[in-house]
Amino acid sequence: MSHRYKSHIFIGFGLVVAVISFYLYIQFTHTSSFQTFLSWSKENIVIFCITIFVLKVIGTVYPPLPGGLLTLGAIPIIGWFPAYVIDFLGSATAGSIDYYLGYKYGMPFLKKILDQGTLESIQRLKIKKDKELESIFVMRLLLGSTIIEAINYGAGLLKVSYKNFLLGSIGSHLLYGIPAFYVGESLIKGENVVYSLISIVFTVFIFWKIKGRYFE
């Protein structure tokens, strides 16, 4: 099986799992258990926000734990924009940690903390020295929802300029994160469902068309 075919399977599987998980969470928001959790969260909003932030960071530094879905799950409790801000800050913090670990300790260390799939994704990254910022921006924009840890660690491993890494990461997060969280709130509320689904399909289509330029 070719590396390209395996990467398609890996990324596609990640997208399917994310969609199914989000759908199941939407169903959970209509249960009495969620209403109990909602009441507790609103009464302890500071603790809730700090917890979500910490889990977002941990989930991005250590891939087996879900980071992004947790912040999306906070939308019914604190609204899409506060949830996005937490995701943004958590992503920037975790990305910097990932970058430093990859830059400082290299592949021998990463083999101790990452699964084989993530390691293979890192090894297939293509980042041109004269287009570091563009490469990070495009990869985070198109692949970030599925292999964000690989991009973060890989940027450090490949000695990408931290400035270019950070600017590319921030730019892509703003571009895809704000619409994603806004659409997420619409889906949870059952509003603009058709528009939201069209947006998702269009995004996935663009992803499949041009991702090969930066990821084998």
- Tokens coding 41: 């969260």
Query: Can you name the residues that pair with 21 across neighbouring β-strands?
Result: none
pLDDT tens for each residue of 109-145: 888 877 777 787 777 777 777 788 888 887 777 665 5
| Residue found by looking up tokens 């990467």 in the block | 7
pTM for the whole structure: 0.77
Contact 171, 161 (CB under 8 A): no
Report the distance separating Cα 192 and Cα 186, nearest Å: 6
pLDDT tens digit sequence for 81-95: 999 999 999 999 999
How many CA atoms are closer than 13 Å to the CA of 180, on its beta-carbon side? 25
Q: Is 127 helix (H, G, I), strand (E, B) or coil?
A: coil
